[in-house]
């Protein structure tokens, strides 16, 4: 693959079948180009290069393990009490998107107007998506630089709340219409963050561990008692058994971190690596095999 820098702003690449294609030089490639992918998004053409940068994943990482709670109110909270969050869609953009949705509903399918409204919607969402991607990359860089092990909930086991589809008893209204906007507001890019972490981890030697984290938001990190009533509000956790108080997301992130230690001690190494066995800083607690249930936890 031949890539040539033309000037400060432009470069060109010789692609199979297409020949020379000029593109805006937005970042240095930093390695041997292996392949190129041309794509079209929101009315713009993009080219991306797969590059072999020759980087080797380091063997040793000086940082300590961390647990991460991925939430709806705050995108990511760490067991050390750091909050990673930003607004992906501005109130103005949400309002504009809502208006465009109504316009689209009135426009005749297949008409020029319909296509124009659709394109305007895609432009708005394109900005939101780009913001989310940038946030995930930045957070992933910070987290992998600081920590040798990152423990996340396995999203397949996470109880997804807040949905427009409502429940069996209370079905939601305008489900299809709300979905696009809700996704933009509520979607904190959990899966994308996981991908970004895995990508960044290859450069720092950080290990990414997934745990099944049932009841992490209802379990007291100090006495391990599970009680739905301990979760006083979105932000406040106050244990009904021992009185321990913490930010609800930080408490959950600490439980997630503990869940990784539990998996290792219960079943030997599990292939998650020696580093997980290091105890996280903070008070050491006896970890019971089963959570202690006080009252019936609500799902």
244 binds Zn ion (CB under 5 A): yes
Choose which of 38, 155, 242, 293 interacts with Zn ion (CB under 5 A). Answer: 242
223 binds Zn ion (CB under 5 A): yes
Q: Is residue 69 flagged as an active site residue?
A: yes
Phi-psi region of 282 (alpha: psi -120 to 50; beta: other; left: phi over 0): left
Nearer to Zn ion, 147 or 231 (CB): 231
CB of 246 vs Zn ion, minimal distance in Å: 10
CB of 289 vs Zn ion, minimal distance in Å: 18
Please choose, out of 13-21, 45-53, 157-165, 242-250, the segment that lies near Zn ion by the rule CB under 5 A.
242-250
CB of 79 vs Zn ion, minimal distance in Å: 16
Please choose, out of 11-19, 116-124, 206-214, 240-248, the segment that lies near Zn ion by the rule CB under 5 A.
240-248
Choose which of 94, 208, 238, 241 interacts with Zn ion (CB under 5 A). Answer: 241
252 binds Zn ion (CB under 5 A): no
CB of 279 vs Zn ion, minimal distance in Å: 19
CB of 230 vs Zn ion, minimal distance in Å: 7
Catalytic site residue from 169, 227, 249, 269: 249
Q: Is residue 153 flagged as an active site residue?
A: yes
Active site residues: 69, 153, 249
Point out which residues bind Zn ion (CB under 5 A).
220, 222-223, 239, 241-242, 244
């Amino acid at each position: 693959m031949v890539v040539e820098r033309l000037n400060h702003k432009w470069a060109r690449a010789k692609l199979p079948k297409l020949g020379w294609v000029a593109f805006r030089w937005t970042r240095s490639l930093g390695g041997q180009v292996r392949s190129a992918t041309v794509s079209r998004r929101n009315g713009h053409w993009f080219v991306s290069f797969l590059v072999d940068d020759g980087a080797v994943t380091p063997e040793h990482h000086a940082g300590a393990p961390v647990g991460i709670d991925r939430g709806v109110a705050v995108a990511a909270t760490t067991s050390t009490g750091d909050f990673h969050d930003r607004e992906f869609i501005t109130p103005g953009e949400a309002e504009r998107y809502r208006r465009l949705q109504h316009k689209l509903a009135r426009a005749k399918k297949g008409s020029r107007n319909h296509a124009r409204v659709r394109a305007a919607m895609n432009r708005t969402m394109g900005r939101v998506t780009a913001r989310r991607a940038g946030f995930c990359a930045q957070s992933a860089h910070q987290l992998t630089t600081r920590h040798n092990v990152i423990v996340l909930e396995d999203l397949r086991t996470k109880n997804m709340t807040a949905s427009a589809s409502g429940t069996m008893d209370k079905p939601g209204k305008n489900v299809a219409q709300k979905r696009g906007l809700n996704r933009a507001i509520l979607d904190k890019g959990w899966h994308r963050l996981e991908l970004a972490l895995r990508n960044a981890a290859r450069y720092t030697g950080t290990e990414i561990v997934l745990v099944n984290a049932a009841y992490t938001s209802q379990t007291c990190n100090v006495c391990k008692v599970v009680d739905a009533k301990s979760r006083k509000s979105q932000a406040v956790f106050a244990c009904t058994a021992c009185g321990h108080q913490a930010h609800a997301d930080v408490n959950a992130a600490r439980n997630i971190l503990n869940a990784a230690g539990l998996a290792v001690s219960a079943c030997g190494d599990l292939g998650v690596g020696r580093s997980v066995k290091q105890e996280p800083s903070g008070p050491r607690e006896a970890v019971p095999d089963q959570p202690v249930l006080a009252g019936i936890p609500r799902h």
